[in-house]
Structure 1
Amino acid sequence: MKILVCDDDPVVINIILFKLQREGFGEVIVAADGREALAQIKINNIKLIITDLQMPFLSGLEIISFVRNNQRYKTPILVMSSEGLEDDVLKAFELGADDYMVKPFSLPELMVRVKRLLRK
């Protein structure tokens, strides 16, 4: 199982990476920007995408749009953002995000949400 974590903050990436690996979620692929995330989506069989909204080159919203507009991908998407603005939340869900968490986040809550999305 491959999980893609997209965030331009190395601290956030390392925290999520450590927790997912410790919980036994298989291979975790990281992307520090939207362009890198898109490349990983195209070449890997990703089972879950965890993405920030604000990233260099391509935003999390653009990632969601690409995945949902391509029939090939049915990947669940969990958005994590420090921006809890209602417009951003609504736009992410309108584009097809499956879940949304505001940073800072709880690691136990993140793990529950990841498990739920992987069961879909």
Structure 2
Amino acid sequence: MNTAKKIVLAEDNSIFSLLLKFKLEKEGYKLLIAVNGKEAIELIEEHNPDMILTDIMMPFVSGLEVINHVRNKLSSSTPIVVFSSAGQEEMILNAFNLGATDFMNKPFTPNELIMRTKRLFC
């Protein structure tokens, strides 16, 4: 039996989260939603997801801290796609230096995210 790939989504915009959840679940993925980086780390540790999607700018713990935790504390190579509306080059480079797999500027379309997700699971 083919089980759905688990994705942790860390996004503090609830409307955007619900849109992504709807689109990704329609494609057969199981989404676990965190509204901040602290919740994301808890979900990651509990569920060992196949992919992590995280905004950079979030309350309590940033997306950069999530990447750092996954790569250094958990020693995980789980694909991490980071997104941000900030678009600051330094922040993007920091994300990649910490171990992000991909970066998307907000706003982006759910279909673009689905294509990138499928590509990472190939």
| Class of the TM-score when normalised by the shorter of the 2 chains | over 0.9
Question: 2:6: which partner in 1?
Answer: 2
Aligned structure 1 segments of 4 or more residues deviating by more than 2 angstroms: none
- Distance in 2, matches of 1:17 and 1:50, equals 11
TM-score norm. by structure 1 comes to 0.93
- Distance in 2, matches of 1:80 and 1:117, equals 16
Q: What displacement does 1:19 show?
A: 0.5
TM-score norm. by structure 2 comes to 0.92
Show structure 1 runs of 5+ residues with no match. none
Question: 2:17: which partner in 1?
Answer: 13
Question: 2:90: which partner in 1?
Answer: 87
Q: What displacement does 1:70 show?
A: 3.2
- Distance in 1, matches of 2:120 and 2:86, equals 22
Aligned residues between the structures:
118
Question: 1:100: which partner in 2?
Answer: 103
- Aligned CA RMSD, in angstroms, stands at 1.1
* Distance of aligned partners of 1:4 and 1:112 in 2 relative to their CA distance in 1, 3 Å threshold: same
1:26-81 Cα offsets, whole Å, 9 max, x none, are x2100001110010011112000000001111000000001111354221000011
- Distance in 2, matches of 1:71 and 1:6, equals 17
Between the aligned residues of both structures, percent identity stands at 45
